Amino acid sequence: MSIQLDETDIKILNHLQRNGRAQRNTIAEIVHLSVPSVSERMRKLEEKGLISSYNAILDAKKFNFDITAFIFVEVDGSERYQGFVKNVTEHPEVLECHSITGDGSHILKVRTMNTASFEKFLSLVQSWDGVTRTRSNIVLSSFKETRELPVERSVELKK
């Protein structure tokens, strides 16, 4: 599927990725359009599903979530897949879950308060029906963590 955006749409998307709370009049100044025009463009971007939500990003450390870890999980078969997904979605410690190739069938990104709570959560994951193996990596430090996409590289520009 090819999505066509012009430079103004890309500027709006990039600004919203950096500041989801940006006021429409500020965006209008940046892209040199009226506020109603910016509002209409944002509505269309939302309708196309290009903007799925506006969220605040919290500082995990300030909420005492000191452990970030990745858990590689091996589930023994596709018949257990739905149960595994249900378990993942019911636990707020899981920030992300991805089906993967390579070592394991899924990778989980989790946050817990300390090593004791991580150990308890890891034991829980290992008890889930169909989980045959886990391998964990605890993050020591993070240098980049973002959800911003380089949209100008991924779309066809309208002339």
Same domain, 64 and 131: yes
Query: Which tokens in the block code for residue 144?
Result: 């980049």
Q: Is there a contact between 151 and 5 (Cβ–Cβ < 8 Å)?
A: yes
C-alpha 135/C-alpha 72 separation (Å) is: 5
Q: Is residue 33 part of a domain?
A: yes
- Whole-number pLDDT of residue 1: 55
pLDDT tens, 70-98? Answer: 999 999 988 888 999 999 999 999 999 99
**Of 41, 56, 71, which residue is a domain's last?**
56
Q: Is residue 48 part of a domain?
A: yes
Residue recorded with tokens 């605040």: 56
- Whole-number pLDDT of residue 152: 78
Cβ-proximal residues to 136 (8 Å cutoff; 6+ apart), any chain = 69, 70, 71, 72, 118, 122
Q: Is residue 158 part of a domain?
A: no
Provide the domain count of the chain: 2
Q: Is there a contact between 106 and 99 (Cβ–Cβ < 8 Å)?
A: yes
107 or 154, which is more confident: 107
Q: What does pTM read for this prediction?
A: 0.84
pLDDT tens, 17-57? Answer: 999 999 999 999 999 999 999 999 999 999 999 999 998 88
Q: Would you state the torsion angle of the CA atoms of residues 60, 64, 65, 67, taken in this order, to the nearest 10 degrees?
A: 120
Least reliable range by pLDDT among 31-35, 102-106, 119-123: 102-106
C-alpha 130/C-alpha 74 separation (Å) is: 8
Average pLDDT value over all residues in the chain: 92
Give, as one character, the DSSP assignment of residue 58: P
Could you tell me the CATH number of the domain that includes residue 111?
Answer: 3.30.70.920
- Whole-number pLDDT of residue 108: 98
Q: Is residue 44 part of a domain?
A: yes
Q: Is residue 65 part of a domain?
A: yes
Query: Which tokens in the block code for residue 134?
Result: 């886990």
Same domain, 29 and 65: no
